[in-house]
């Protein structure tokens, strides 16, 4: 179903080694409102949504995997030249002790990823509102990370990701309106 193109959706550049910024950015890697949770949520929810919006969840869920790849690249570039002492000073000592510089799905506080992040109610409207909220929370998190960052190169990629969250939220809002228009219509089989 998927075709993998060996390039990032948007170029990722990092100006300097910055493990503290990597620690914050890990939130979007393995946090509740991060890219992995979003991708899995949307690709899971699509099975209980009406045909009119299944493609939307497939498209956005797939794009979220591309965003996950961008975040992984950002985090890797921010820590690849860091010493163990720098990682410890940045609050990544526990991560280093368990994983060295390998990426691991956890949030900025070090809490491991859990399937409870993947919401699915089975009600199309409820699920789409959950998706809108997830996109808006991710948008806010990207903005807060930008606020913490002094790396103009990294911020360029973060702005791209923040803007994609806005587009996804708008698309989910459109899907809600499509489904609201279908409510109450008699279905013929």
pTM of the model: 0.93
DSSP secondary structure code for residue 90 in this structure: T
Q: How high is the pLDDT of residue 188?
A: 56
The residue behind tokens 């699920």 is: 127
Average pLDDT for 107-136: 95
Helix ranges, 47-123 (H)? 51-79, 84-89, 93-99
Average pLDDT for 132-145: 97
What homologous superfamily is domain 19-182 in, according to CATH? Ferritin, core subunit, four-helix bundle (1.20.1260.10)
Statement: residue 184 has pLDDT above 70: no
* Residue 153, CA distances (Å) to 15, 59, 105, 166 in order: 6, 27, 24, 21
Query: What residues have CB less than 8 Å from 106, skipping those under 6 apart?
Result: 26, 29, 30, 31, 95, 112, 113
Q: How far apart are CA 113 and CA 44, in angstroms?
A: 17
Q: pLDDT tens digits for 1-12? A: 678 888 999 999
Q: pLDDT tens digits for 75-110? A: 999 999 999 999 999 999 999 999 999 999 999 999
Residue ranges of the domains in the chain? 19-182
């Amino acid at each position: 179903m998927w075709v993998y193109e060996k390039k990032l959706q948007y170029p990722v550049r990092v100006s300097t080694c910055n493990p503290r910024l990597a620690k914050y950015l890990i939130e979007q890697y393995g946090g509740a409102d991060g890219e992995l949770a979003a991708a899995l949520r949307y690709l899971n929810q699509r099975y209980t949504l009406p045909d009119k919006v299944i493609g939307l969840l497939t498209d956005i869920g797939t794009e979220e995997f591309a965003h996950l790849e961008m975040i992984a690249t950002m985090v890797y570039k921010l820590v690849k030249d860091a010493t163990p002492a720098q990682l410890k000073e940045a609050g990544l000592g526990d991560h280093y002790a368990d994983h060295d510089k390998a990426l691991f799905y956890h949030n900025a506080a070090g809490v491991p990823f859990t399937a409870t992040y993947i919401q699915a109610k089975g009600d199309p409207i409820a699920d789409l509102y959950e998706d809108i909220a997830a996109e808006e929370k991710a948008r806010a998190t990207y903005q807060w990370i930008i606020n913490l960052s002094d790396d103009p190169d990294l911020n360029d990629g973060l702005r791209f990701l923040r803007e994609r969250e806005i587009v996804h939220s708008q698309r989910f809002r459109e899907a809600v309106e499509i489904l609201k228009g279908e409510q109450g219509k008699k279905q013929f089989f």
